[in-house]
């Protein structure tokens, strides 16, 4: 960074514009101004001021990246990180931000291409490889995802790593490994509802309906608002010909939808009369017109 001359407080705004790129946060701007004024008043070495400003800039860029990833719209975040990389193609923070924002935008193939570049760098981390594997899974490239995860040593134990390992094992129908990885993943997070729901769905696809039911119930103890787990729970119970709704927290609209799910499941199980009753309950319970249930009931001659 070039030498920044001392200026008066009156000249500071103009001088700042000449020597410092625009920052999105007024607080950081004020901090930089304070550093300049302090340097002039106290005789601080200008090189020290330059280093301090560089540090402020790094913090600012990191903060902005976090903001874009957490509260920014996916398309806006993608554009932000693409611009950052246009200005500095080797910026690892921007590369990671672009990979993550592309994932949020549902552009898994593009995200995988970015993570390919990142993981080829000598300063890539195991976390980068796990993110790469997730992008591959979302792009339905299970074989390559397994290969990437195999590069991560067993000593790297994180929730995300084991969640993905469980999904890969599921895709291979390696149920023993899947169960082990799901159990480990659930123990590595304070919010295990999604992984317990996935584990339950895995059990459901294997025909282990009672075990699936227990996992969906467990997921709901951690997140009582998770409708996917409620719906899966009804499916697991219906597979055991238990058509009454489970005793879990639900809204009136959710209750109607769950009756509908149970009704369709009953028909599939070979219990059409029960299915018709459940579909009628869905229609009667729903706080608004339930077109799908009406059509299904009509198809059954209800």
Nearest of 31, 34, 36 to residue 19 by alpha carbon: 36
CB count within 10 Å of CB 206 equals 15
CB count within 10 Å of CB 11 equals 11
Lookup result for tokens 């509260």: 71
In Å, what is the CA distance from 231 to each residue of 194, 211, 235, 248? 13, 16, 6, 11
- Structure pTM? 0.75
Task: Give residue 302's pLDDT.
Answer: 60
Task: Give residue 44's pLDDT.
Answer: 53
Mean pLDDT of 262-283: 96
Task: Give residue 51's pLDDT.
Answer: 55
| φ, ψ (nearest 5 deg) of residue 106 | 75, 20
Q: Is the model's pLDDT at 193 over the cut of 60?
A: yes
Residue 284 in contact with residue 252, Cβ under 8 Å? no
Mean pLDDT of 44-55: 54
| Nearest-10 Cα torsion for 270, 274, 280, 282 | -80
Nearest of 124, 116, 176 to residue 141 by alpha carbon: 116
Task: Give residue 50's pLDDT.
Answer: 54
For residue 148, the number of C-alpha atoms closer than 13 Å in the C-beta half-sphere is 28
CB count within 10 Å of CB 143 equals 10
**Residue 211 tokens, joined:** 């075990």
What is the tens place of the pLDDT at every residue in 212-266? 999 999 999 999 999 999 999 999 999 999 999 999 999 999 999 999 999 999 9
Distance, in Å, from the CA atom of 140 to the CA atom of 112, rounded to the nearest integer, reads 11
Q: Say which residues have a Cβ less than 8 Å from residue 194's Cβ, sequence separation at least 6.
A: 219, 226
Residue 100 in contact with residue 69, Cβ under 8 Å? yes
Nearest of 264, 204, 254 to residue 231 by alpha carbon: 254
Q: Say which residues have a Cβ less than 8 Å from residue 281's Cβ, sequence separation at least 6.
A: 259, 263
Cα angle 134, 136, 138; round to 5 = 70
What is the tens place of the pLDDT at every residue in 9-37? 444 344 444 444 444 434 343 444 443 34
Q: Say which residues have a Cβ less than 8 Å from residue 241's Cβ, sequence separation at least 6.
A: 269, 271
């Amino acid at each position: 960074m070039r030498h920044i001359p001392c200026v008066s407080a009156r000249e500071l705004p103009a001088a700042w514009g000449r020597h410092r790129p625009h920052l999105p946060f007024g607080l950081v701007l004020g901090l930089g101004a304070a550093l300049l004024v302090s340097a002039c008043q106290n005789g601080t070495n200008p090189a020290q001021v330059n280093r301090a400003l560089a540090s402020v800039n790094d913090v600012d860029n990191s903060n902005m990246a976090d903001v874009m990833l957490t509260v920014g719209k996916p398309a806006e975040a993608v554009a932000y990180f693409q611009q950052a990389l246009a200005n500095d193609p080797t910026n690892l923070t921007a590369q990671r931000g672009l990979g993550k924002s592309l994932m949020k935008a549902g552009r898994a193939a593009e995200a995988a291409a970015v993570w390919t570049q990142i993981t080829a760098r000598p300063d890539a981390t195991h976390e980068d490889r796990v993110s790469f594997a997730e992008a591959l899974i979302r792009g339905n490239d299970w074989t390559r995802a397994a290969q990437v995860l195999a590069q991560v040593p067993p000593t790297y134990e994180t929730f995300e790593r084991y969640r993905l390992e469980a999904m890969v094992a599921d895709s291979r129908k390696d149920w023993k490994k899947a169960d082990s990885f799901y159990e480990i993943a659930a123990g590595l997070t304070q919010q295990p509802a999604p992984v317990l729901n996935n584990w339950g769905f895995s059990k459901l696809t294997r025909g282990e309906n009672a075990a699936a039911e227990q996992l969906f119930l467990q997921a709901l103890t951690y997140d009582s608002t998770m409708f996917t787990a409620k719906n899966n729970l009804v499916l697991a119970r219906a597979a055991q010909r238990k058509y009454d709704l489970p005793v879990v927290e639900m809204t009136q609209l959710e209750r109607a939808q769950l009756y509908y799910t149970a009704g369709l499941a009953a028909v599939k199980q070979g219990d059409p009369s029960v299915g018709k009753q459940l579909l009628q309950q869905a229609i009667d319970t729903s706080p608004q017109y339930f077109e799908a249930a009406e059509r299904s009931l009509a198809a059954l001659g209800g």
